[in-house]
Amino acid sequence: MRRETRDVNIRWCGAISFAALPEAALAAPDVALLPRNLSPWNMFVNADMVVQAVMVGLAFASLVTWTIWLAKTIEIRRETTMAKRRLGMLETDTGLAKAEQETRGGNDAVAQIVQSAAHEASLSGGHFDDGLKERVALRLERVEAAMSRQIARGTGALATIGATAPFVGLFGTVWGIMNAFIGISEAKTTNLAVVAPGIAEALLATALGLVAAIPAVVIYNHLTRTIAGHRALLGDASALVLLLISREGDRGVFRLSRAAE
C-alpha cells in the first residue's frame, strides 16, 4: 500500500512539472526579448532605424533652437545698447552734419539711418524744402525695413521647429508602434514584457518632439517681443532725424551745416 501511494505521488509531481514546462518555455523567450534596461539611451539604440533618424533630427533641431537663442540674444542686446546710445546723441542739440560725422563708419541700424539721411541731403545739394523731407522719410523707411529684416533673421527657423517638431515626433511614434505590433504578431504572444519595450521606444520620439518644440515656441515669442522693441527704437531714431532736419530748416542753418561738412 505504501509503495502504491509513493508511485502515485511521483506521477502527480511529474505531471505538475510537465505542465509547468510550457509556461517556462514561453517565459524564457519573453525575457530574452527584453533589453537590459529601458533608459533613454538604450531605447534609442534598440529602436528602429527610422525612429532613430527621427530622434537624431529632433535632437539637431533642439540644438539649432538653443544656438539661435544665444546668437540672437547677444546680437539684439548689442544692437539695442548701441541704438540707445545713438538716440541719446540725437536727442541733444546737434546738427545733421555733426551726427553724420559721429556715426561715420558705424554698421548699427541708427548709424545707417543717419548716414542715409545725410546722403539724401548731399544728393539734394543741401537745399531744404518739403521735397527733401519726403525723400528722407522714404529712405529712412527703407532703412528701417532692411534693418528689421536683418535683426529678425533666423527667427523663422524657430517658428518652423515649433510647428513641425511635434508632428515629426508623432510620425516616429506611429512608425515605432507599427513595428511593435508587427513584432507581437511574429512572436505570437501578448505578454506585456514583450510589448512594452517597443512602445516605450516609440513614445520616446514624441517626447523628443515636445522637447524640441516647446522651447522653440517660447524662444520665438520672446525674440519677437524683443525685436518689436528694437524696431520701436529704430522708429524713434527716424523721427529724431526728421525732427533734426526740420529744426535746421526752420533755423535757416541747414545749408550752412552741410557746407561745414
pLDDT per residue as tens digits for the range 93-146: 777 888 888 888 888 888 889 888 888 888 877 666 677 788 888 989 998 999
Same domain, 69 and 184: yes
Count the helices and strands in the chain (H runs, E runs): 9, 0
Beta carbons within 8 Å of 255's beta carbon, 6+ residues apart? 126, 127, 128
The pLDDT score that the predictor gives to residue 29 is 46
Same domain, 132 and 146: yes
What mean pLDDT comes out for the span 200-222?
91
Same domain, 26 and 116: no
Same domain, 26 and 43: no
Same domain, 212 and 246: yes
Q: Which domain holds residue 23?
A: 1-33
- Residue 228, helix vs strand vs coil: helix
pLDDT digits (tens, 9 = 90+) for 162-194: 999 999 999 988 888 888 777 777 767 666 666
Contact predicate 201/158, CB 8 Å: no
What mean pLDDT comes out for the span 5-17?
46
Same domain, 25 and 74: no
Is residue 26 pLDDT above 80, yes or no? no
Same domain, 204 and 229: yes
Q: In whole numbers, what is the pLDDT of the chain averaged over residues? A: 78
The CA distance from 4 to 15, in Å, is 17
Does the pTM of the predicted model rise above 0.85? no
Same domain, 68 and 187: yes
Q: H or E stretch including 54?
A: helix 49-91
Same domain, 137 and 251: yes
The domain tally of the chain equals: 2
Same domain, 97 and 224: yes
